[in-house]
Every structure is written in structure tokens, then in C-alpha cells.
Structure 1
Amino acid sequence: MPPTRQKLNDPRIARFRSLKNFDKIIDEKTVRCKCGVIIRLDRPFRTTNFERHIKSKNCILGTDKQQSLYLFFDQNQDSEGETESHECLPCIGLFGDSYTNYATGTPSGYGGGERPEVAGKRLFPEKFPQDIPFSRKKLNKDQIQEFNTTLQATSLWKIDQFEGVIRSAKCTIMTTNLSGLCGECIDLKKNNRLKDALKSRRATPSTTKFIPKFYFNTRLIGLMKNQNLRSLWTCIITNNNDSAMWASLAQMGMNGAFNGEKTFTELASLMLQIKTKEEAGINMKGLRYSEHLTHFFSLLSESSREYEVFRKELGGMSIQRIRQIRASNTELITDPNLVLDNVTKFACIAKELKWEGPILLMTDCTKIRSKLVYSQELGYITGSTLPSSEVSVSDINDIHEKIRNIYENNALATQVRVIVLKIPIGKIPPIVIAILPTKGDESAEQIFNILCTVLDFARQNNLNILSMGADGARSEFNAQTKIMNSSSTYFTFDDPFYNVHFKVPVIHGRPLVRVQDPKHAKKTARNQLFTGARHLSLGIDTIRYDQLYLLAHQDKHTLLKRDVLNVDKQDDAENVPSDMIGLFIYLFVLGELCDAYLNRKIDHKARIRMVMRAFFFLKVWKDYIQRCGSIHSSKWYNMQHSIISMQSFEIFISMAESLIMLIMIHREYYPHYPLFLWEHGTEALEHIFGISRQVIADFNFYEFYKIQKRVMYRDKISRAGLINTSRDRTSAGGYVFDIDGTSLSHETIECLRTWPSEDDFKEAIRIGHSEAMSFAEYLQIDNRTALSMQQLIRRDEHSSDDQSNLEIIDDDEQDDEQCQNLAESIEPQKEIENIGTAAFEVSRLLLDESDDESNMGNENEATNISLVTFPDLHYILSQKPVHQKQFEKFDLLFTPEGFVNYKVIIDTRKNHDAFTRHSKSAFNKQAQPETSETTEKSGLLNLNNANRLITELTIDLNVQENCRNRRKERWEGRKRLATIPIAVGTNVHNIIDANVSDIYNLISGGYLIIYSDNKLCIAQIISMYEKQD
């Protein structure tokens, strides 16, 4: 590459400039003599070969000191016909004082294209009409990307700011011209727009501050946020002598300032390697990269352009080598359908790891962008729900018929179902065994058949499937239930005294447990409070969203607004509550249920107590609402408004049953393998979805399939724990990943493979039942004896088998549900201030905290780099279980007088809470889709032509139904209230506004009119909800 202004003062270049007949440096090992001959150097910037040339007869300027005609012509005017050279060399681009000043003084990376304001108005006419000036600030991320791509596509030249070179946008990269310029760059020299740009005034140190900030939106500038790097930068700009900066750097390093900055220290070590090789005159082949740097370069290379800039300045692996490593270290299926070979691949991996323990099965769906794409490697049109045999294409003429068949059958996929298998150890990533297109309307029978197929494939490969995880969706839950009822043999657990009878099917000789994802359950428990359609009744108190809102706005509490506002995106409320005892108990009971799965340190006996407490409490609560509905009125006490949804109820009950059975099965079938309950569920699969969204925010089916190689490799990096790939969150909503790369201690592993005895089970169940009854008694929702409690559980077990009672929560329909007037609240017996403080402490159930991601390698070696080691796996397989002496003793949650022991409950939640508040800085990079290289092969259908035809046919056939908006229907229904016939002589104003007007304001404790079931009712306001942005 030609030298920049900074490099012209390099002493190695100065030696060449002092030699006679020297013309220019093409790159570090190639120079040109004034006689026109290009000389290759034996070492970078070594003058020996050039001096030998000018003294030889080959140089026409050095033979007899006869001046050459070459000197009488302008050497800067390269002839376009100058095409003969000894070899094809890279185009050197336009450089020199004017070009270098322009390149190093402009913040843009390209020029000569369409003016930004013209391009912006043309691309987004709805945002910028003729009378509104264009502004980048009004564009979102996708629009900015489209805008920048358009400017770059219309540009005439590219600017290499780091080398100070200008090249044509159509530069051919290589040239045989003796001038070193390709034909396109030669033509660019004559371009008038470039000449005008060269004459324009560039930025100066005093005017740089006026450059728009979007030009500086680069990852490298983000590195300056590091405090230590800022100190170094300050040292550099305030001291012209570099020695002061290096002295400061050395002092910081000796003081341990960079101990926590592993990436920085590894890069510094790499730079030492590079400089040592340069000084010794050794080429850069054979550089050694640590595992940490390999991961770091892989993450940066998701944007090839930014990575190349980084690599030029600081060094790094080549893009080609990174792709080789990524491909060789990723176990990826080659057929997205559910086939035996995919399961066999997983079985081979388990065999290599010598794993004979339990295997986890999990499945879930995610939305995709509907699009049909022809896949050359698969041989059929992807993106439809039809079997691959019906959409296979052998000739381009088949596409018309296939596309028509897809639309006639309404088989355009809108979701993708992914099935994974996983060894239940955190550092070992899951393996995708199927990627199935779907429309999101699968029945329980269809999912049941898919799961049965997976179980049959697992049996053929001798895999021990222990659990099948799902997120609690109704169809998946019902499919799990069908599997639970499909066996003739069951593994059971019974406690006759409390009438507890759990069972799981034995399939292919091994018990199988259905598991609902605990983090989805945690989110479900939170969302029950965030909907205005429910008013949960718990005896002497009610549970409402405004209670959380109040806590979030109190200065003495650390419950943040981000944990309450805009989490459900439906109703944000503001009201001042009088008590929070119901909220306190609700959060404690369900928080303990979820953290029985998610906590990594508590023993199994404590987990049994936690889930059985929730099991008994939920049963009592449901019976209380049913009894109140029958005694008082089903209008005010019913299963639709006064308690959590029935689907959520079934999920929580199922979680208690699943945990008990998992512990029992591990004790009987896998006693040497610890039970890591947080691995069960769908978190590993959700992590795959999350990484995929970072790579492509809105992918179609084919894109999702193609990016899995990058996704799986990044998942390995995240689980290795060497580089933090998580990001800070601004809201507590959504799914929070807890992919922890740290290994468990040996004490924790031994604790989790120490199994409770039968007496331990019964004691934990007894204490859980006692605590549930004490909470119910405290809330005045239970006055039954132990015998009636057994009858209650038996009666509720019969009703829980009826899956038709399950309810799907629909946010749009919840807006229509009318809030009912409940029974009058009874003042609690405890002081309000103490209850509010205690309620805050346990309200961290609702906080899903952010957490959401050395072997040496040789770049020039073909061997694979070992991404991770599995110390947990090695310890489990090599060490026999060490029996723990005793389980932890249980603290009493109630005083002997029957009062709640708030301090014990708060301490218990702190010890069992699976998340803690912390903030981490992380890369949040959204990369472009990785495109595979496609080549024309004989006998293969042309990929571009096929997809172009599919797009045209899709546009013609994609006629969507004009569905009516639900909110519009509700608005029209609201207007129909005005036509309700009113009795003669009765004057009712503002009936369509519930009698709320400027005169009759809506206030807490006031009254309003409700029209329900053809009746006009008067209701009292308990809580007020207000929509906020």
C-alpha cells in the first residue's frame, strides 16, 4: 500500500528516498525505479535489491549516466494502454498530497454519490415532504441502515482514511498497468466532482467539533469509554513525547490497572509478537492466538468491514481463518427436517464426552418473516409448511406450479419450531436436531406426534431422555399431557396423609417428566399483576398493579421504574394502596416456586418444601374463590377475574409435580449425576433465538437455517465464559438469559447429587403444607381441618385433568373485560409500614436481571481449536458421590403466636433468589446476514433466477385478507351503548363514558356506572389505571 503522511517520516522509507532513481513504494516488499522497473525486495523495506538494480545494466539510468527519454515525460500521467507487466499487482489507488489530505480530513468513507438530503427525501417521502427538511435523527435503525446503504451504492469513489488513498467504487482491485492503477481509478482522476472535492476546505482541529456525531458512531470510539484507556489518551494528547505515554502505560500495568481487562492485555501481547517478528524480518505466518482472542476476533468479524479496519491497525486473524474455525467447531445439522441422522449426530457427541446420564429435550416456536426462498443445497423451496417432497424443484419451470400450490393450501410459514437436545451441564451447548416451519396453529396432536418421533429416535440411539421442556403454551402443554397419559406403566410418588399422588410415564424403559420453563413461569406470575383485567382477591386483601407502582416511586426502595413501567405494555397504573399483605404473600410463594428451579446452591430437600408450599397454597386459593362465588356472587368472585388464569394455575401446579418427580427419578435412575434443575425448561433454546435476533432482527425461515452455524459458535463462546456477550437492559420485561460460563464448585455439585430419603420427602411436604395453611389462615381464606384439606385436594385433582378449562391470555381481549366490585377489604392486623417494607423485599421476584453472554491456536495450522473445557463434566464422571452429612434446617416463617415472621421471610427470599441486581457493559452488535458463496455448478438450478421468479410470483399471489381490527370493533360496541333504551322519566347522562365527565371526575373511592350483561351496575373504584408512554 502507498505510504500515508504519517509513514513518510519513517526512517526505513527515508532510506529509499535518499537513493538515486527511486520513484515510489508500492508496498512493503515492492518498489519502483524511475526507469520503470518494479523491484521485489527480499525483506520489508530492505534496500539491498534496489541498490543492486540501479548499479546493474538492467537500469537504463545507471549504465553510462546517459539520461533517459523517460525523464522528459510526466511520470504521473499513466497511459490507459499501459497493460504489460511481469505480474498482476494490487491497484495502489490515488495518493499524494491532495488525495491524502482529502482522505485523512473527511469523516466519510465514500464520496461522489447522491446528496444525503436528496436521497433521504426520495427514500422516505412520508417522513420528509417537500416542506420538511431532511434529518437523520428522525430515522430508526433499519431506516438508517437503508439510508447509508443507498449513499454507499450511489458513490463514485471509496475513501481509505487509514492509508490516505482514494479508489474508484468500481476499482478492479488488481491491475497489470505499470502505473499501479487500474483503469477505473485512472478514469476517476479525471472526474470533475473529485477535483472539486479535493479543492474543498477540510476539517481543522478547531472545526472538528462541528462534524455531525453520526460520523463517529463506530465501535473503536466506543473503546474510549474505558477509564484506563481514556487516561492513556489524555497522556498522549497532552504530551508530544511518546515516552511519557509508554511510561504511564507501564506504570498502570505494574499497578494492576488492567487485571480485569483481559481483551486489552491479550491484544497488547499480540502486538508484542507482531513487532518482534517485524524487527527480526520474519513474516507474520505462525502467529499464536489465545483462545480468548480467537473468540474476540470471531465476535468482531460479524461485521467484515469494521473487523478489517481493526485488523489493519491492531492485527488479528484473517476472515478466512475465522470462518474455518467457526465451521470446524460447530455441530450443525445439514437437514432441517426431523430425521434420524440429526439425533444420531447428538448421540455421537454424547458418546465422545462419555455421557451416559439424562438428556434434556426442549421445543419452542419463534416468529419469522414469511418469505419463500429456493435453497440450492436443500433442493426445494423453503418457507412453506408443505413437506419438502411437495416443494422440491428440479427445473425452473416447476416453480410456477409449486408456488401456486403453496398459496392454494395457505401453507406460508409464519413461525419456526425448533427442537434441541442438551446434556444438562451449563458449559455444554445444546444441539439443534430439527427446524420445522409452521403457521403457529399446530394442534396438541401434531406436537404429540413430533415428540413421539423424537423419543423413538432417541431410543434407537440409546439416549436417556429425562425431561421434555416447553414454555407453557396451551397446545404444547396439552401435547405433554397426552404423552403423560399414553403409557401403560408409570413411576409414582405418593403421600397418602396429604393425598399427594404424582406420576410420570415410563417410556422405552425410562421415566419421562414434562417441565414448564421456570423463567416463563416467573414472567407469567409477574404479568398476572400487570394486567388491568384482573383484580386478584386474597381474603383480607387484593393484589393490584398500583401497589408495585407505589413501591417503584418511593425513594427508600430500590424497586426501579424500569421493573414496573412498560413491562406488560398494556396498563400502567397509579394509585395509593392502603396495605400490601396479599402482594407480600403472593410474591413470596410464587417467587419461591420459581427459584426452587433457578437457584444453584440450595439442597433438594429445601426445594421440595418450596414447591409444595406453593402447591397447597394455590389449591386453597382456588377453592376460596369458588366458595365465595357460590356463597356471594359469581359476578364478583369468579375464576376469570379474581384469581390467576387457569392456564397459569395449571402451569404452577405442574411445576411442583415435575420437581418432585425429577428428584425421585434422579435418586432411583441417575444417582451419580447431579440434578441441575435450572437446565430444565427452554432457556437454552431461548438463548439460540436471542442470538439469532442479534444476527438478523427479522429473519425468514431460510435465513434462520443458514445463520445457525454462527449462532451455535457464538453460543459456545458465551458458555465458555471468556468474553461477556450480554448487554444492559432498560426494562425488566421479556426473557432474561442466565448463561453462566463459570464452573460450579465441587461442594455445590455434591450438594446437588445428595438425595433426600423418604422421611425427608415427607417432612418437607409436611412443612410446606403447614406453611401454606398458615398463610391461608393469616389471609382468612381457609377455615378447614386437615380432613377437609384432603378432600379439597382430591376434588381439585379431578377437575385439573380437564384440559378444556385451560385459558389463553389475550392482551387485546383483556382490555374488554370489565373490572368487578369485590367484597370490602378488611384492614390487616399488622402495621402498614412494616407490610410495605416487607412486600418490597420479596418483590424482587418480578426483577429479571441483566446477565442477558488458555489453549493456543496457530492461524496457519489446519487443526481445530478446542473452544471449551468442561471441568464440571470431568468431575462428575471421575469422582464418586460424597454423601452430605445433613440437609439445612428450616427456619419458622410464623411466630408461636401465629404472626408472620417478616425478617425470616425476607432473609429466605434473599438466600433463595436466583438473580441479583448488577450492571455489566457488553457488546450489543447486530450484524448483517452471512451470505454463503454460491457458484454455478453443472446440473444445479440457478439460485438467483429461481428466487427472482419466486419473488415475482409471491407478489402476484399474496392477497391478504382484510381482517377487521378488534379495537375498532370495541369502539363501535362502545358507541352502541348510546342507543340503549332508557326508562321513561330517567335521565342518565354520559352513559357511554361510564358517567365520568368534567363534572363527575374519576377519583379513587368514587363510583361509576358499568353496563354488564344487559344490566346497569354501580361500582366503587379501588384502583385507577392510566396509560403512560
Structure 2
Amino acid sequence: MHYPPAFDEWCHELLCIRPEAYRSFQLAFGGRTERSFRQMRSSKPAFIQGIGAHTLDRAKEYLQDYGYPREGPLATGVDDTKLLESLQPYYDGDHKKWFLVGATGQPMLVANIDLLQSEINQARNLKATKLRLWTMSIPLPNVPPLILAASPISSKNTAVELAKMEEDLLRLLILSEENFNIISFGSDGTNVERDARRELIRSKFAHRVEYQIPHPVVGSPPILIELMKIGERTMASIQDSKHLRKTMRNNLFTGAKALVLGRHFICFQQIWDLASFEDSPIYVRDVKKLDRQDDRVAARLFAAPTLEYLIEHNSTNLGLIAYLFVFGEMVDAYQNRKISHLERIKMLLRAKFFKDIWKSFLKDAGYKTGRYFISSEADDIMDIVINGYLGLIYIHRDKLGKRFPLLVWIHGTEPNEHSFGFLRIMVPDFTMLDVLQLIPKLRVRLIAACKQKNIKADFQRSAAGYSHTYLDAEDADLHFLALFPTDEEISSTAKDAYEEAVMLWELLGYYPTSSSDDGPTSAMVEGGVQVSDEDCSDDEESDIDEGEPSDRQQLQDALDAAAAVQAHQLPSNQVDDTLDECGYAVASLNLVELQHM
């Protein structure tokens, strides 16, 4: 029986999202069977692990599916998440061969299936612990992201190793005949990821392109905006603004620092006191046993109602008010759908000048930045966020043949996190084989998420984890966001931003002179007690609950331990029986997971 394409597509989405609901719907209204949908998914080319010609084919098909011009700007992002350690056989129907997946690097060819156990034993030390996922996005409304490539990696990788992966991908996409116009490359804020982007420059694979904004203080070095040029394409390195907001929250919450701003200091106790009031705009759960990855918690802290409450009830603590205002506005420059690009530039440059003057104040007052300033990680991430947005402005204005609107909230790693979330909904502890088999279903779920209308993020929810809003562009005026400022307008806006930053510091009791902040803006004088940045960061390693391991993980660990013992001593019949029972249990759990694919 043939069904209308729109009905077929809707049924497929419902089946992928809620299988039980689709079964009830099918009984009443008809539709394809689950087996038929599985056959449809399996008829399409299988998702192949790693970076290669298949990656280029996926990118080409993505642009063709949406009729997007080759010269149109594209956003890419990369992120990692936890992977269940497991080596599993996988049959490649195209090559008619068996492979072993789950080890770092490329899948391992199994020359003889009868020797599978021997191959597994040899590769046991190569088990991957993390999934590295690359996405590509057409930065326009109502277009879902593409899962570009996926690769299993170890938990310890150097910046050089990660940069080599990115080099392989970008060489394929940009230096090939297709020459995709990638204008941004997003990643998370860990030290190794940030250094990996810089390694692309150090290795000479990419070349630095600079723009300059005159500093408002005469005689001070200009503000440098650095971009990467690969072949004919120019791109900006991007940090996720929501991650920055959580990082700034964590800097405020850490007990290792006392942030001093002029006559004021700010610390965790002040937020604790704020949450204790009955009419407080933030919740006790926002400060006590909080979920550090909850986007809504950080959003409430930096939101306008919190500032209004502080001004009304605790107006003497200008340090906390200034901190929340300046850095909250900085994130809003990325997330707001309505304001102009010039207003966004002012918000970002005001944060930059505020931070620069803060360093000057600490130096003049004799405070050690290692204890009384934000973490060096947060300092660097802020610079990348500012540089990334201004870089995208210059690329859109000067490097694109046609005028495209800049929807900056789409650039970054939120599509990657969204994909990880869907994967964990389908299989909470997924292996690399699970990922390869779930990609077709993940694509359906991303398309369905993109179609949702009028679904606004509920920032009153607590303990809700990530809040994905990058697909929400309902209030965006695309024509308005395609108007880009001139150099003169940017220079004038920089002066306004500097004046506002100075006025804020005067309210805090510090009066900067024209020579007090003329040093390198990225320099940070460290001294005194060395404080770890770990408590202040928004590390993506925390995206998965590290509590009790799952049943699947415990069984897999037990089997691995038993296999190691067997390699050194002869097993008894009782041990054999126990291992068989554990193996059956693992197989049963795997079958349960397969029912959801």
C-alpha cells in the first residue's frame, strides 16, 4: 500500500520519537509497519566511521537536498562525549567483509571470522572511550544540522593529534574540488581543544588573517581580530556562548577565588543568600547541588529579573550587579534574535574593555590575578567568543559574494550536543557500533526537532540539563541581520563601549587612566597561590552523569576482567558457566537496545 509522502514522513518521525505512540496510532489510522521503516533506513547508504570520501559525499548531498548554493556560508563544529568501551564485529555489506569497531582509529578488518576472539584480544588495549563527532550546518532557519563524521578516540589526546583530525577534514572539504565555504569551526572550551585550533596555524596548514579596530585610547595597540585562511576560504574559531555563561557562573561559585572589582568583592555566599529569599528569581537548587551542565540555571542567574531583584534589594553590591550585567550581555550578543549587529558588537567590546580594565585595577591595587580574577581559561574563552563574532561580521561583509544573514547562535557546538542528547535518549550507554546504526534514526529526530514551531525554552525548569535553542529563529528578521556595519561604525561603537566600561568601573570605585590598560589585552599576570581552573570550567566531560555505572557497563567490565584472568590461567567449568551467563546477560541487554533502533 502506498501512503502520501508527507504522511509517511510524519509516521516515521513519530516512530523514531515514540514507538509506543506510533503503534497505537497505526492500529487506528494505518501506516507502514516498523519493519517497513527499518527497511527504508537500511536501503540508504550506511554511515561509515571516520573521515574519507564518504564524508565529502554526505556534505554534497546535504547541500543538494536543501538547494543551497556552493558559495553559501557553512558552519561546522566538533565535540566529544563518553563512549561505552566495547569491541564489536560489524559486517560491511558493500565490501562483503567483517570489521571490528570500537577501537581508536579506523575499523579493523577481520580477515578470518573464526579468529574473531583472537582479534578482539589483540585490540583490547585500543578500546576507545570517547566519541568525536563533527557536524555541518547551513546557518539559516528551519534547516537541521548534518552529522558529518564520527570517530572513536581515546580519553587522552594532544592538541597536535586533534588538529591532525581537523586538518584531514578541512583539507577534504575546502581544498578539494568542492571547495565548501566553511566560515566557522566551533569547539568546546577545554585547553586541548583551544590549543588544537591554534595548532592549525602553527603547523602552517592555515594562515592568519587580521583585521584591526582602533583602540579608543590614543596610543594603545589596536584590537586585533584574527581569522584562519585555508586555501581560498576564511573562517573564524568559535566558542559556544552558553558554555561561556556556565564558565562565568562557575568562576563566581568557586571557593578558590574571591573576585575583587574596585571597592567590591563577589563570591558564592552572595548567590546563596539571594536564593534563600522566597521571592528570589533563582532557586535554591540553582546553588545547592546544582547541575553544572544545566543551561537554564546559568541563564536565570544572568537574566534581567535577577538584576532587577539585586538592584531593588541589594543595590550596594555593585560588583555583583556589574559582573552579571556585563557578562550576561556578552552571551546575549550571541543568543538574542532581534538586536542589530552594531548593538551586539558594543555588548561584546564592552565586556572586553571591562575585563581589560579589571586586570589593570588588580595590577594597580597589588592583587594577584591568580586569586582575585577569573580563571585563565575563562579569560581565553572570552577573547575567542569576542574574536569569533567580529570575525564572522568581517567574513559576511567582505568575503561572501552574496549577502547572507548572520545567525550567530547557529555557529558553535550546540548541534553536536543536541545529537549526543538524542543518542542517549535512544541508547543511554552507546557503543561505537550503536552510533553507526543509530545515525539514520538520529537524522530523522533532528529533522523532526527542526520542524517544531512555537516551542520556546522554558527557563523556569530546574535540573533539566542542556537547553537547545539554536533551531529557534522565529523572531529573527533575516533582512535586518544581513545589514553589516562599516569600519567607521565599528570604530565609533568601540568608543561607546569603552566609555560605558569606564563608567561602570567608576561606579565600582576605580578610575582608569588612559595608560592603565594599554598593555596586551590577552596577557595575564599570574602570581601568588596557583589556583586550578578545573572548578571554574564548563568541561564537557561532565555532560554524562558519572555516578553508578549502568548494568551494561558493569557486565562489560566484568567480562573484560574475566577475559584477562583467563589469559593467564586455565578456567574451571564453574568459571565457564558463570562467564556464559554474563555473556547471555550482555546479549540480552544488547537485544533490548536493538529494539529501539
TM-score exceeds 0.5 = yes
Find the counterpart in structure 2 of residue 476 from structure 1. 193
In the TM superposition, residue 289 of structure 1 has moved relative to its aligned partner by: 7.7
For the pair 1:354 / 2:82, whether they are aligned, the reply is: no
1:546, 1:577 within 8 Å by CA — same for their partners in 2? no
Deviation string 1:602-637 (CA, Å, 9 cap, x unpaired) is 111001100000011111212333444xx3xxxxx4
How many residues end up aligned between the 2 structures?
A: 515
Extract unaligned runs of 5+ from structure 1. 1-284, 632-636, 815-928, 930-947, 960-1029
Q: TM-score, with normalisation over the residues of structure 2? A: 0.78
Find the counterpart in structure 1 of residue 564 from structure 2. 957
Deviation string 1:834-875 (CA, Å, 9 cap, x unpaired) is xxxxxxxxxxxxxxxxxxxxxxxxxxxxxxxxxxxxxxxxxx
Q: Which has the higher contact order (CA 8 A, sep 6+)?
A: 2
Change (3 A) 1:418 1:538: same
Say which SS state the counterpart of residue 384 (structure 1) adopts: coil
CA distance in 1, matches of 2:559, 2:286: 46
For the pair 1:444 / 2:159, whether they are aligned, the reply is: yes
Question: What amino acid does structure 2 have at the position aligned with 1:299?
Answer: L
2:252, 2:267 within 8 Å by CA — same for their partners in 1? yes
Change (3 A) 1:756 1:743: same
CA distance in 2, matches of 1:679, 1:701: 27
Find the counterpart in structure 1 of residue 369 from structure 2. 639
Say which SS state the counterpart of residue 244 (structure 2) adopts: helix
Change (3 A) 1:376 1:675: same
- Return the match for 1:517 from 240, 254, 278: 240
For the pair 1:338 / 2:51, whether they are aligned, the reply is: yes
Extract unaligned runs of 5+ from structure 2. 298-312, 540-551, 567-597
CA distance in 2, matches of 1:458, 1:472: 24
Find the counterpart in structure 2 of residue 188 from structure 1. none
1:488-503 superposed matches below 5 A: 488=207, 490-498=209-217, 499=221, 500-503=223-226
Change (3 A) 1:953 1:590: closer
1:717, 1:723 within 8 Å by CA — same for their partners in 2? no
Find the counterpart in structure 2 of residue 651 from structure 1. 381
Find the counterpart in structure 1 of residue 508 from structure 2. 779
Question: What amino acid does structure 1 have at the position aligned with 2:193?
Answer: E
Find the counterpart in structure 2 of residue 399 from structure 1. 116
For the pair 1:788 / 2:501, whether they are aligned, the reply is: no
Question: What amino acid does structure 2 have at the position aligned with 1:592?
Answer: E
1:41-120 superposed matches below 5 A: none
In the TM superposition, residue 542 of structure 1 has moved relative to its aligned partner by: 1.6
Change (3 A) 1:677 1:568: same
Question: What amino acid does structure 2 have at the position aligned with 1:557?
Answer: S
In the TM superposition, residue 811 of structure 1 has moved relative to its aligned partner by: 8.1
Question: What amino acid does structure 1 have at the position aligned with 2:373?
Answer: I
1:663, 1:755 within 8 Å by CA — same for their partners in 2? yes
CA distance in 1, matches of 2:414, 2:337: 15
2:248, 2:536 within 8 Å by CA — same for their partners in 1? no
Residues 583-592 or 616-625, more deviating:
616-625
Deviation string 1:482-505 (CA, Å, 9 cap, x unpaired) is 224534552422315543122223
1:609, 1:764 within 8 Å by CA — same for their partners in 2? yes
CA distance in 1, matches of 2:11, 2:252: 41
CA distance in 2, matches of 1:698, 1:449: 28
Q: CA RMSD in A?
A: 3.5
In the TM superposition, residue 596 of structure 1 has moved relative to its aligned partner by: 0.6
- Return the match for 1:715 from 442, 446, 457: 446
Change (3 A) 1:807 1:680: farther
Find the counterpart in structure 1 of residue 352 from structure 2. 615
1:872-883 superposed matches below 5 A: none
Residues 728-737 or 444-453, more deviating:
728-737
In the TM superposition, residue 290 of structure 1 has moved relative to its aligned partner by: 5.1
In the TM superposition, residue 773 of structure 1 has moved relative to its aligned partner by: 1.3
Find the counterpart in structure 2 of residue 453 from structure 1. 168
Deviation string 1:324-354 (CA, Å, 9 cap, x unpaired) is 56568x8x76311111321232123314513
2:104, 2:153 within 8 Å by CA — same for their partners in 1? yes
Q: Which has the higher helix share?
A: 2
Find the counterpart in structure 2 of residue 888 from structure 1. none
1:678-689 superposed matches below 5 A: 678-689=409-420
Change (3 A) 1:726 1:497: closer
Change (3 A) 1:642 1:723: closer
Deviation string 1:487-528 (CA, Å, 9 cap, x unpaired) is 455242231554312222322122221010111111111222
Q: TM-score, with normalisation over the residues of structure 1? A: 0.46
For the pair 1:318 / 2:49, whether they are aligned, the reply is: no
Find the counterpart in structure 2 of residue 380 from structure 1. 99
For the pair 1:666 / 2:396, whether they are aligned, the reply is: yes
Change (3 A) 1:335 1:806: farther
2:201, 2:208 within 8 Å by CA — same for their partners in 1? no
1:547, 1:580 within 8 Å by CA — same for their partners in 2? no
CA distance in 2, matches of 1:721, 1:799: 45
Change (3 A) 1:414 1:949: closer
CA distance in 2, matches of 1:726, 1:591: 17
CA distance in 2, matches of 1:725, 1:397: 54
Find the counterpart in structure 1 of residue 362 from structure 2. 625
Question: What amino acid does structure 1 have at the position aligned with 2:198?
Answer: T
Deviation string 1:59-83 (CA, Å, 9 cap, x unpaired) is xxxxxxxxxxxxxxxxxxxxxxxxx
In the TM superposition, residue 433 of structure 1 has moved relative to its aligned partner by: 2.2
Question: What amino acid does structure 1 have at the position aligned with 2:121?
Answer: R
Find the counterpart in structure 2 of residue 809 from structure 1. 534
Change (3 A) 1:699 1:618: same
Change (3 A) 1:288 1:341: closer
Find the counterpart in structure 2 of residue 420 from structure 1. 135
CA distance in 2, matches of 1:736, 1:376: 37
CA distance in 2, matches of 1:950, 1:379: 24
2:185, 2:237 within 8 Å by CA — same for their partners in 1? yes
CA distance in 2, matches of 1:463, 1:528: 38
In the TM superposition, residue 296 of structure 1 has moved relative to its aligned partner by: 5.7
CA distance in 2, matches of 1:684, 1:615: 27
Change (3 A) 1:466 1:618: same
Question: What amino acid does structure 2 have at the position aligned with 1:788?
Answer: S
Find the counterpart in structure 1 of residue 569 from structure 2. none
- Return the match for 1:767 from 487, 496, 504: 496
Find the counterpart in structure 1 of residue 422 from structure 2. 691
1:468, 1:513 within 8 Å by CA — same for their partners in 2? yes
1:591-990 superposed matches below 5 A: 591-628=328-365, 631=366, 637-670=367-400, 671-721=402-452, 730-731=461-462, 734-740=465-471, 743=474, 748-780=477-509, 782-789=510-517, 791-792=518-519, 794=520, 796-797=521-522, 808-810=533-535, 955-957=562-564
- Return the match for 1:429 from 132, 144, 154: 144
Change (3 A) 1:422 1:296: same
1:646, 1:806 within 8 Å by CA — same for their partners in 2? no
2:410, 2:471 within 8 Å by CA — same for their partners in 1? no
Question: What amino acid does structure 1 have at the position aligned with 2:200?
Answer: I
1:379, 1:394 within 8 Å by CA — same for their partners in 2? yes
Say which SS state the counterpart of residue 749 (structure 1) adopts: coil
1:567, 1:731 within 8 Å by CA — same for their partners in 2? no
Change (3 A) 1:348 1:712: closer
1:296, 1:723 within 8 Å by CA — same for their partners in 2? no
1:639, 1:646 within 8 Å by CA — same for their partners in 2? no
Deviation string 1:765-810 (CA, Å, 9 cap, x unpaired) is 0011111111122212x43322332x23x3x44559xxxx996415
